[in-house]
Amino acid sequence: MKKTWILMLLIFFVLGFWLFVPPYQKDKIIGVFTAGQSDRKCFNFHKQYYKDPETAYFVDSYVWSKENELSTGTKYPDPAFEKYDTLIRVEVQAKNGFGAYIKEFIECPLIDGKFDDYEALIHRINNSK
């Protein structure tokens, strides 16, 4: 009986913690378990460039291929597809210099379906012009 109460109290504490903790704190916990995935690697690579990197958190991601880009019928395809076949796009919420949260999309090229630090850096440099 005592073990049941302790277990219920523990569940109540964890659930309460999860409901009231800020999203960027939740993301730190989730990030421990998803650190090896390409979208998380892309997020972690770009996180250092934010004004307040501690408050940046991962929202969502999707893989965008050259075929997807061409099938939309867009007149001006993304110039990144001249060099890469697949990009991963990550939605991020982060505080700007004024302390307000902004939504931003970052992208990283996938080489053979995997994240590559060097190519991500080259892509970032080419897009910052």
With cut-offs at 50, 70 and 90, classify the pLDDT of residue 127.
confident
The pLDDT value recorded for residue 103 is 94
Average pLDDT across the chain, whole number: 86
Q: Which residues of 54-71 are buried (b: 16+ CB within 10 A; e: fewer)?
A: ebbbbeebeebebeeeee
18-28: pLDDT as tens digits: 778 888 788 88
What is the phi/psi pair of residue 58, to 5°? -75, 130
What is residue 61's predicted lDDT score, i.e. its pLDDT? Answer: 93
Q: Are 63 and 110 in contact (CB under 8 A)?
A: yes
Where in the chain are the domains?
Answer: 35-127
Q: How confident is the model at residue 129 (pLDDT cuts 50, 70, 90)?
A: low
Model pTM?
A: 0.79
For residues 97 and 54, give the distance between their C-alpha atoms in angstroms, rounded to a whole number: 13
